[in-house]
Amino acid sequence: MSRTVLASGVGAVLAAAALAYVPELIVWSPAAPPGPARRAELAAGAGARAELPDLVALIGDRERWVRRHPADDASWAVLGTAYTERGLRRADPADFPRAERALKRSLTVLPAARGNLDAQQGLAALANARGDWATGREWGERVRKAAPRRWSVYPVLIDAYDGLGDYKAAERATGTLTSLHAGSAVGAGRTADFYRVRGWREDAGAAAVDAVALARTPAQKADALARAGDLAAERGEPAEALAQYGAALGLVREHGPSLAGRARARAALGRTAEAMADWRTAVARLPLPEYLLEAGELAEALGRDAEAQALYGRLRAAGAGRSWERAEAVFGLFEADHGDPAEAVRRLRVAWARGHRSVRVADALGWALYRAGEPKQALPYARRATEEGLRSALFAYHRGEIERALGESGAARRRLTEAVRTDPAFSPLWAARARGALAELGEPSDELPDLVGSEGPSAPDKVAKRKGKKAPRKAGAGR
């Protein structure tokens, strides 16, 4: 799950909640420019993401307000939702308990049964931020049923459905969002994300361009540009991706997703010293588990073992708690490749049993089983990850290695070729190993397969079986 995408879902919640109160602590006049808290309110009301300093100002404003007016349910809902968004944008899970307290306080003042949709939607966004997709879906569905034309609930539901791997429901929610909130950066961005998951890259790219054009604030435009950069990187176009990330960073100087994206793009272009500098800045600014893993793997590939181990240590510490459960696929891949594959399998099986069946979890579980010496068990998960629609070079590489371990040389060759053609520099560690695996497999044999051997039914047998007929009897059969 893209961090930018998830935060945009929280921003949609804030957009709905921000319209529900009239702050007294924010004073302005038509002749004076709005202050930071008012700018955050205006951005949220327009469905755009607020600048982080403005979001912080809004939090401070609401904290002061509710101390004086503790019975203001709408302000408690705004405060709780803003805490969730700040926690995501700073990669600081300490904000999540604050968010929960504020949202529950809102429900105490105005219970859900009496129509407190803002707090319920805020709890859905908070559950998603924590990786509790089932709870996010439950709260989101309550709001949707009570107010089906409330556009801001649909990004939250899409996040929950994606986390659960329910892509048909995510598609329906995306369609409803775009019909209710047409002509918005939120709608265009979510459409781009849907096309990407389906593997429709050209359509995803066009929708991403629309999202950039429709963005209302620098923060929202930076997010849209980062999405366009991610799509270019997945197509194996690092120079184009670099341009998009650079444009985003020109708007928001320390935009975390764009710093991470620029690090990947520079690494793909062979500018590894600059890439490591970007990764250091990115993990200092936004220490997300996926960034720590990618930065560590680049350092490892460059032979900087001490730096790699320091980054892995930070990742291991983050994975020891329950703060970033939504990053279960990242922690699973880390254990599979740099720790204990058996522990990776255990962790990911727990996530799968909880209903977390996204393509990312399926890929990670398949890879963990392969690394634990169980390629036969791994293959169904790898197939699920690669056949859902998302065109990921890493997923293709994982499946290719699993098939190679099972002796399926032709299938392995196709998947490994797909990986290196999709994105020749998809990973500083694994791209080179994919090319090495292809070299070991060699060219396919020129010999035709024996269709009537003793390994199974012949081609006519299979055709007859599909048509519901008896297969032609072979000479000497039954004697």
Per-residue pLDDT of 338-383, as tens digits, reads 999 999 999 999 999 999 999 999 999 999 999 999 999 999 999 9
Same fold, 1-164 and 331-441: yes
Q: Is the pLDDT of residue 479 over 50?
A: no
Residue 318 is predicted with a pLDDT of 87
pLDDT at 27: 42
Nearest to 326 by CA among 91, 121, 157: 91
pLDDT of 32: 57
Give the chain's length. 479
Encode pLDDT of 94-144 as tens digits. 999 999 999 999 999 999 999 999 999 999 999 999 999 999 999 999 999
Higher pLDDT, 472 or 73: 73
Residue, of 48 and 157, whose pLDDT is higher: 157
Show Cβ contacts of residue 344 under 8 Å, excluding neighbours closer than 6 positions. 331, 332, 333, 334, 335, 336, 364, 368, 371, 372
How confident is the prediction for the chain on average, in pLDDT?
88
pLDDT of residue 24: 41
Q: Is the pLDDT of residue 13 over 70?
A: no
In CATH, the architecture of 182-286 is Alpha Horseshoe (1.25)
> pTM of the predicted model, to two decimals?
0.86
State the CB neighbour count (10 A cutoff) for residue 458: 15
Cα–Cα nearest to 180, from 217, 200, 153:
153
pLDDT at 28 over 90: no
**Measured distance between the N- and C-terminal CA atoms of the chain, rounded to whole angstroms:** 61
Contact 116, 128 (CB under 8 A): no
CATH architecture for segment(s) 331-441: Alpha Horseshoe (1.25)
- For residue 352, what are the CA distances in angstroms to 194, 283, 305, 348? 22, 28, 33, 6
Residue 33 is predicted with a pLDDT of 73
pLDDT (tens digit per residue) in 57-88: 999 999 999 999 999 999 999 999 999 999 99
Assess whether pLDDT exceeds 50 at residue 176: yes
pLDDT computed for residue 35 by the predictor: 87
Q: pLDDT digits over 187-229, tens only?
A: 999 999 999 988 899 999 999 999 999 998 899 999 999 999 9
How do residues 266-321 score in pLDDT, each as one tens digit? 999 999 999 999 999 999 999 999 999 999 999 999 999 999 999 999 999 988 76
**Rounded Cα gap, residues 320 and 93, in angstroms:** 14
Domain limits of the chain? 1-164, 182-286, 331-441
Confidence check: pLDDT of 469 > 80: no
pLDDT for position 140: 98
The CATH fold assigned to 1-164 is 1.25.40
Work out whether the CA dihedral 370, 372, 373, 374 comes out positive or negative: negative
Per-residue pLDDT at 8 exceeds 80: no
Name the 3-class secondary structure at 413: helix
For 83, how many CA atoms within 13 A lie in the half-sphere containing its CB?
25
